[in-house]
Structure 1
């Protein structure tokens, strides 16, 4: 379409030049006549000849081509809400921004504080609900709880009658002495009993009292002799204390050491 319009414009220009040259030649032929009517007639002919080509002139101007490229776009812009909004503000080279006012900042801070307070209240309510749920029911627990029966604790060591009589004899002396029972690593089986005469028990010693007679036990020997029975043996060969230990798993041939 554009090529066709350019071509028509060129043809129109060529035809105009041809007519102009023909008019000038006609005027030159008639220049010899002294009458002014011929010159006036020639000028009028030139004007009428150019004005008769109105069809070419109108078709050669771009405004008369009839193309409507922006019609649909203008209709779209009119119906678009964005274009209506932008049309209210004149175009500017620089963008303008304004800082929030003190009142706006104060309102934002108040809203943030209110949200924080609400969140804290929710957390506190949730924690309180958890504590209430974890509390045991005192009434139900007291009903279901049974009374604990107190049972006498088994003595760490028991004393035979002969051992009691011999220990009383030691306590009745002018300088009373206590017997401290312990164990040490010695002998074929690994452990042997060790008896010591003391006047006062140590800090970590255990005191066993039976029929008014006290016996001191070393805290390190508790697990080795707990539940044992202490006896006194007096024969022709020797006089000594012996132990009947249920924790013993074996003794050596001479009976001096044991293992647990």
Structure 2
């Protein structure tokens, strides 16, 4: 039975009119229909791609979605697609959480808060691009979590090292469909003194590909309620991540 907090696909399509890519330009997944609500404190990301002061990103953002069944679970990704390495730009995993659910708070403007477990597979890491580099793009993606989901063994190592990450390969290995919702921010590090003035060119922002063509669907399965406080997400108990590799490449 579809819960009242679930936005119907028909209403969603009527709202967006056509396919809108809410992921960063050039990101490998671009066929996303709905906008994932992202807010850092009182700063609500709007429009997608807003340049956010790095200081505002110290804590994980609050997330909301218009397309979610309250009986379902989701997988959340946050990926930096502009990390400089060996003369090119690669991906770094900033956040990965399974078993994401909806809060019990009342939906506002068809947006309901998401609850991320306190022990995610890859705890949130603050955006920290190298000083002197271009603004980095950080894409947030929300996927349906398949029934009986098992984390792909080939990706357990990157949960610690964070880099290099491959979103396309992870989506395929995890058997994920088209994201339900997405959004992205840009962050530039203006603190300190640059340790280098040579950075790779910006990555291409056109001709990006897709991962799948299926339409967003309500989540299947059932999930117990998680800790919620006043409609805000409860972020207690985030485990410290193990930093591997050169610091500039792990930011």
TM-score by length of 2: 0.18
More helix by share: 1
Q: Which has the higher strand share?
A: 2
TM-score, normalising length: structure 1 = 0.18
Higher normalized contact order (CA 8 Å, seq sep 6+, divided by chain length): 2
